[in-house]
Structure 1
Amino acid sequence: MAQIIFYEKPGCINNRRQKQLLRQSGHTVVAKNLLAEDWSVEPERLREFFAGSPVSAWFNRGAPSIKQGLVNPDTLEDDQAIGLMLTDPLLIRRPLMQVGQTKMAGFDEEKICAWIGLDEPEKDLKICPKTRKAESCHG
Protein backbone atom coordinates (compact mmCIF):
# COMPACT_ATOMS: atom_id res chain seq x y z
CA MET A 1 0.00 0.00 0.00
CA ALA A 2 1.07 3.57 -0.64
CA GLN A 3 1.95 6.50 1.54
CA ILE A 4 0.13 9.49 0.09
CA ILE A 5 1.01 13.10 0.77
CA PHE A 6 -2.45 14.67 0.59
CA TYR A 7 -2.68 18.46 0.25
CA GLU A 8 -6.14 19.53 1.36
CA LYS A 9 -8.20 22.49 2.45
CA PRO A 10 -8.77 21.82 6.14
CA GLY A 11 -12.46 21.48 6.89
CA CYS A 12 -13.43 20.43 3.36
CA ILE A 13 -15.98 17.64 3.70
CA ASN A 14 -14.97 16.00 0.43
CA ASN A 15 -11.29 15.99 1.32
CA ARG A 16 -12.19 14.28 4.61
CA ARG A 17 -14.24 11.64 2.76
CA GLN A 18 -11.49 11.16 0.16
CA LYS A 19 -8.87 10.58 2.88
CA GLN A 20 -11.19 8.11 4.56
CA LEU A 21 -11.58 6.13 1.32
CA LEU A 22 -7.81 6.09 0.79
CA ARG A 23 -7.27 4.81 4.34
CA GLN A 24 -10.02 2.19 3.93
CA SER A 25 -8.17 1.06 0.82
CA GLY A 26 -5.10 0.39 2.97
CA HIS A 27 -3.10 3.51 2.18
CA THR A 28 -1.36 5.80 4.66
CA VAL A 29 -2.43 9.43 4.29
CA VAL A 30 -0.17 12.29 5.37
CA ALA A 31 -2.45 15.33 5.30
CA LYS A 32 -1.02 18.79 4.69
CA ASN A 33 -2.70 22.17 4.52
CA LEU A 34 -2.79 23.19 0.85
CA LEU A 35 -3.53 26.81 1.80
CA ALA A 36 -0.59 27.11 4.23
CA GLU A 37 1.99 25.51 1.93
CA ASP A 38 4.49 28.07 0.57
CA TRP A 39 4.31 27.15 -3.11
CA SER A 40 6.09 30.39 -4.09
CA VAL A 41 9.45 28.95 -2.95
CA GLU A 42 9.26 26.38 -5.77
CA PRO A 43 6.42 27.18 -8.18
CA GLU A 44 7.54 24.29 -10.42
CA ARG A 45 6.69 21.88 -7.59
CA LEU A 46 3.07 23.04 -7.79
CA ARG A 47 3.05 22.82 -11.60
CA GLU A 48 4.16 19.16 -11.43
CA PHE A 49 0.78 18.15 -9.96
CA PHE A 50 -0.91 19.25 -13.20
CA ALA A 51 1.42 17.60 -15.73
CA GLY A 52 -0.47 16.34 -18.75
CA SER A 53 -3.67 18.24 -17.90
CA PRO A 54 -5.02 21.31 -19.69
CA VAL A 55 -4.64 24.54 -17.73
CA SER A 56 -8.40 24.87 -17.31
CA ALA A 57 -8.40 21.57 -15.35
CA TRP A 58 -5.90 22.93 -12.80
CA PHE A 59 -8.56 25.03 -11.10
CA ASN A 60 -11.08 24.57 -8.32
CA ARG A 61 -14.17 25.80 -10.15
CA GLY A 62 -15.84 26.53 -6.81
CA ALA A 63 -13.22 29.12 -5.80
CA PRO A 64 -14.82 32.47 -4.96
CA SER A 65 -12.79 34.44 -7.53
CA ILE A 66 -13.91 32.07 -10.29
CA LYS A 67 -17.55 32.11 -9.22
CA GLN A 68 -17.44 35.91 -9.07
CA GLY A 69 -16.05 36.06 -12.61
CA LEU A 70 -12.72 37.56 -11.58
CA VAL A 71 -10.74 34.59 -12.95
CA ASN A 72 -11.56 32.64 -16.10
CA PRO A 73 -9.47 29.44 -16.16
CA ASP A 74 -10.40 28.81 -19.80
CA THR A 75 -8.43 31.84 -20.99
CA LEU A 76 -5.17 31.44 -19.05
CA GLU A 77 -1.70 30.29 -20.04
CA ASP A 78 0.17 28.03 -17.64
CA ASP A 79 2.45 30.74 -16.18
CA GLN A 80 -0.55 32.99 -15.56
CA ALA A 81 -2.41 30.14 -13.86
CA ILE A 82 0.47 29.32 -11.52
CA GLY A 83 0.90 33.01 -10.70
CA LEU A 84 -2.76 33.34 -9.75
CA MET A 85 -2.63 30.16 -7.67
CA LEU A 86 0.38 31.44 -5.75
CA THR A 87 -1.56 34.54 -4.72
CA ASP A 88 -4.90 32.74 -4.17
CA PRO A 89 -4.44 29.07 -3.21
CA LEU A 90 -8.22 28.54 -3.15
CA LEU A 91 -7.92 28.45 -6.95
CA ILE A 92 -5.92 25.21 -6.80
CA ARG A 93 -7.87 22.09 -7.67
CA ARG A 94 -7.73 19.72 -4.76
CA PRO A 95 -6.65 17.48 -3.40
CA LEU A 96 -3.07 17.45 -4.56
CA MET A 97 -1.64 13.98 -3.99
CA GLN A 98 1.87 12.61 -4.18
CA VAL A 99 3.17 9.06 -3.92
CA GLY A 100 6.92 8.93 -4.34
CA GLN A 101 7.70 11.15 -7.31
CA THR A 102 4.26 10.74 -8.93
CA LYS A 103 1.82 13.60 -8.45
CA MET A 104 -1.86 14.14 -9.22
CA ALA A 105 -4.43 16.93 -8.82
CA GLY A 106 -8.09 16.22 -8.13
CA PHE A 107 -9.77 13.02 -7.00
CA ASP A 108 -10.42 10.97 -10.10
CA GLU A 109 -11.32 7.54 -8.73
CA GLU A 110 -10.48 5.67 -11.95
CA LYS A 111 -7.01 7.23 -12.19
CA ILE A 112 -6.34 6.65 -8.50
CA CYS A 113 -7.47 3.02 -8.79
CA ALA A 114 -5.08 2.44 -11.68
CA TRP A 115 -2.30 4.34 -9.89
CA ILE A 116 -2.34 2.92 -6.34
CA GLY A 117 -5.54 0.90 -5.95
CA LEU A 118 -8.81 2.03 -4.43
CA ASP A 119 -11.82 0.37 -2.86
CA GLU A 120 -15.23 1.17 -4.35
CA PRO A 121 -16.53 4.46 -2.88
CA GLU A 122 -19.99 4.60 -1.35
CA LYS A 123 -20.82 8.08 -2.73
CA ASP A 124 -19.58 10.37 -5.45
CA LEU A 125 -16.58 12.09 -3.89
CA LYS A 126 -16.58 14.92 -6.44
CA ILE A 127 -19.93 16.32 -5.30
CA CYS A 128 -19.87 18.64 -2.31
CA PRO A 129 -22.59 17.54 0.13
CA LYS A 130 -23.09 21.14 1.27
CA THR A 131 -24.08 22.49 -2.14
CA ARG A 132 -24.61 19.34 -4.23
CA LYS A 133 -22.28 20.87 -6.85
CA ALA A 134 -19.09 19.37 -8.17
CA GLU A 135 -15.84 20.43 -6.44
CA SER A 136 -17.33 23.38 -4.62
CA CYS A 137 -16.27 22.87 -0.99
CA HIS A 138 -14.70 26.26 -0.47
CA GLY A 139 -14.94 29.01 1.98
Structure 2
Amino acid sequence: MKLIIFYEKPGCITNNKQKSSLRNAGCMVIGRSLLDHQMSHEELYTYLEKRPVKEWFNPNAPAVKNGEIDPNSYTEEEALDLLFHHPILIRRPLISVDGRRMCGFDKSVIEGILELSLEINRVEECTSDTACPPPVSSASSK
Protein backbone atom coordinates (compact mmCIF):
# COMPACT_ATOMS: atom_id res chain seq x y z
CA MET A 1 0.00 0.00 0.00
CA LYS A 2 1.41 3.38 -1.04
CA LEU A 3 1.41 6.19 1.50
CA ILE A 4 0.49 9.63 0.13
CA ILE A 5 0.76 12.92 1.97
CA PHE A 6 -1.89 15.17 0.42
CA TYR A 7 -1.93 18.90 1.16
CA GLU A 8 -5.37 20.26 0.32
CA LYS A 9 -7.78 23.08 0.99
CA PRO A 10 -10.12 21.61 3.60
CA GLY A 11 -13.61 21.18 2.20
CA CYS A 12 -12.54 21.43 -1.45
CA ILE A 13 -14.82 19.17 -3.49
CA THR A 14 -12.18 18.52 -6.15
CA ASN A 15 -9.51 17.61 -3.58
CA ASN A 16 -12.00 15.23 -1.93
CA LYS A 17 -12.60 13.50 -5.28
CA GLN A 18 -8.84 13.22 -5.85
CA LYS A 19 -8.30 11.67 -2.41
CA SER A 20 -11.20 9.24 -2.96
CA SER A 21 -9.71 8.14 -6.26
CA LEU A 22 -6.36 7.46 -4.57
CA ARG A 23 -8.00 5.57 -1.70
CA ASN A 24 -10.13 3.52 -4.13
CA ALA A 25 -6.89 2.53 -5.86
CA GLY A 26 -5.62 1.11 -2.55
CA CYS A 27 -3.49 4.01 -1.32
CA MET A 28 -3.32 5.31 2.22
CA VAL A 29 -3.90 9.06 2.00
CA ILE A 30 -3.04 11.43 4.82
CA GLY A 31 -4.76 14.75 4.23
CA ARG A 32 -3.21 17.93 5.58
CA SER A 33 -4.42 21.49 5.34
CA LEU A 34 -2.51 23.51 2.77
CA LEU A 35 -3.73 26.65 4.52
CA ASP A 36 -2.02 25.62 7.76
CA HIS A 37 0.94 23.91 6.08
CA GLN A 38 3.66 24.87 8.58
CA MET A 39 6.43 24.26 6.01
CA SER A 40 9.49 26.35 5.44
CA HIS A 41 10.04 28.24 2.19
CA GLU A 42 12.58 25.57 1.26
CA GLU A 43 10.18 22.68 1.83
CA LEU A 44 7.38 24.40 -0.09
CA TYR A 45 9.79 24.94 -2.99
CA THR A 46 10.43 21.17 -3.22
CA TYR A 47 6.80 20.71 -4.27
CA LEU A 48 6.89 23.50 -6.84
CA GLU A 49 10.34 23.43 -8.42
CA LYS A 50 9.57 21.11 -11.34
CA ARG A 51 6.88 23.42 -12.79
CA PRO A 52 7.23 26.86 -14.35
CA VAL A 53 6.46 29.62 -11.82
CA LYS A 54 3.13 30.52 -13.45
CA GLU A 55 1.98 26.93 -12.82
CA TRP A 56 2.62 27.25 -9.09
CA PHE A 57 -0.54 29.34 -8.84
CA ASN A 58 -4.07 27.97 -8.55
CA PRO A 59 -5.87 29.32 -11.63
CA ASN A 60 -9.17 29.02 -9.69
CA ALA A 61 -8.03 31.23 -6.80
CA PRO A 62 -10.26 34.32 -6.81
CA ALA A 63 -7.32 36.76 -6.90
CA VAL A 64 -5.89 34.96 -9.94
CA LYS A 65 -9.25 34.57 -11.67
CA ASN A 66 -10.15 38.24 -11.31
CA GLY A 67 -6.73 39.44 -12.52
CA GLU A 68 -5.62 40.87 -9.19
CA ILE A 69 -2.60 38.53 -9.33
CA ASP A 70 -0.81 37.72 -12.58
CA PRO A 71 1.19 34.49 -12.15
CA ASN A 72 3.36 35.46 -15.13
CA SER A 73 4.71 38.55 -13.37
CA TYR A 74 6.69 36.92 -10.55
CA THR A 75 10.24 35.65 -10.23
CA GLU A 76 10.70 32.33 -8.41
CA GLU A 77 11.71 34.12 -5.23
CA GLU A 78 8.77 36.56 -5.32
CA ALA A 79 6.26 33.82 -6.14
CA LEU A 80 7.55 31.51 -3.43
CA ASP A 81 7.27 34.26 -0.82
CA LEU A 82 3.76 35.23 -1.97
CA LEU A 83 2.55 31.61 -1.95
CA PHE A 84 4.17 30.95 1.41
CA HIS A 85 2.23 33.84 2.96
CA HIS A 86 -0.99 33.27 0.98
CA PRO A 87 -1.32 29.49 0.54
CA ILE A 88 -4.83 29.81 -0.94
CA LEU A 89 -2.98 30.84 -4.13
CA ILE A 90 -1.04 27.56 -4.40
CA ARG A 91 -2.07 25.07 -7.08
CA ARG A 92 -3.50 22.12 -5.21
CA PRO A 93 -2.91 19.54 -4.06
CA LEU A 94 0.69 19.27 -2.98
CA ILE A 95 1.49 15.57 -3.00
CA SER A 96 4.33 13.53 -1.55
CA VAL A 97 4.63 9.87 -2.51
CA ASP A 98 7.68 7.60 -2.54
CA GLY A 99 10.03 10.52 -1.96
CA ARG A 100 8.64 12.47 -4.92
CA ARG A 101 6.89 15.76 -4.45
CA MET A 102 4.58 17.52 -6.86
CA CYS A 103 2.25 20.44 -7.21
CA GLY A 104 -1.16 19.78 -8.72
CA PHE A 105 -2.90 16.53 -9.51
CA ASP A 106 -1.21 15.27 -12.66
CA LYS A 107 -3.09 12.02 -13.13
CA SER A 108 -0.62 10.43 -15.57
CA VAL A 109 2.41 11.25 -13.39
CA ILE A 110 0.69 9.92 -10.27
CA GLU A 111 -0.42 6.76 -12.08
CA GLY A 112 3.17 6.24 -13.24
CA ILE A 113 4.56 6.59 -9.72
CA LEU A 114 1.89 4.36 -8.22
CA GLU A 115 1.92 1.90 -11.14
CA LEU A 116 -1.88 1.79 -11.23
CA SER A 117 -4.84 3.40 -12.91
CA LEU A 118 -7.00 6.03 -11.21
CA GLU A 119 -10.71 6.39 -11.84
CA ILE A 120 -11.18 10.14 -11.91
CA ASN A 121 -12.01 12.81 -14.48
CA ARG A 122 -11.65 16.59 -14.30
CA VAL A 123 -8.68 16.14 -11.99
CA GLU A 124 -7.80 19.80 -11.37
CA GLU A 125 -10.81 21.73 -12.56
CA CYS A 126 -12.62 23.46 -9.73
CA THR A 127 -16.10 22.00 -9.46
CA SER A 128 -17.37 24.62 -7.04
CA ASP A 129 -19.65 27.37 -8.30
CA THR A 130 -18.40 29.65 -5.52
CA ALA A 131 -14.80 29.95 -6.82
CA CYS A 132 -13.42 28.21 -3.74
CA PRO A 133 -13.54 31.08 -1.23
CA PRO A 134 -11.06 30.62 1.61
CA PRO A 135 -12.48 29.06 4.78
CA VAL A 136 -12.46 31.11 7.96
CA SER A 137 -9.33 30.09 9.86
CA SER A 138 -6.26 31.55 11.46
CA ALA A 139 -4.31 30.70 8.28
CA SER A 140 -6.46 32.93 6.08
CA SER A 141 -5.13 35.99 7.90
CA LYS A 142 -1.50 35.16 7.08
Structure-2 separation of matches of 1:70 and 1:43: 23
Q: 1:52 aligns with which of 40, 50, 53?
A: 50
- Per-residue deviation at 1:77? 0.7
What is the total number of aligned residue pairs between the two structures?
Answer: 133
- Per-residue deviation at 1:6? 0.3
- Give the TM-score taking structure 1 as reference length: 0.87
User: Percent sequence identity over matched residues?
Assistant: 37
For residues 52-88 of structure 1, give each alpha carbon's deviation from its aligned partner in whole angstroms, at most 9, with x where no partner exists: 2100111101112212322111121110001111221
Structure-1 separation of matches of 2:62 and 2:120: 29
Task: Structure 2 unaligned segments of length 5 or more: list them.
Answer: 134-142
Structure-2 separation of matches of 1:115 and 1:122: 16
Alignment-derived partner of residue 138 in structure 1? 132
- Per-residue deviation at 1:122? 4.3
Alignment-derived partner of residue 22 in structure 2? 22
Q: Secondary structure at the match of 1:86?
A: helix
Q: Which runs of 4+ in 1 moved over 6 A?
A: none
8 Å CA contact 1:2–1:27 kept in 2: the answer is yes
For residues 78-119 of structure 1, give each alpha carbon's deviation from its aligned partner in whole angstroms, at most 9, with x where no partner exists: 100011112211110100000242101101111111111343
- Per-residue deviation at 1:137? 5.4
Structure-1 separation of matches of 2:30 and 2:82: 26
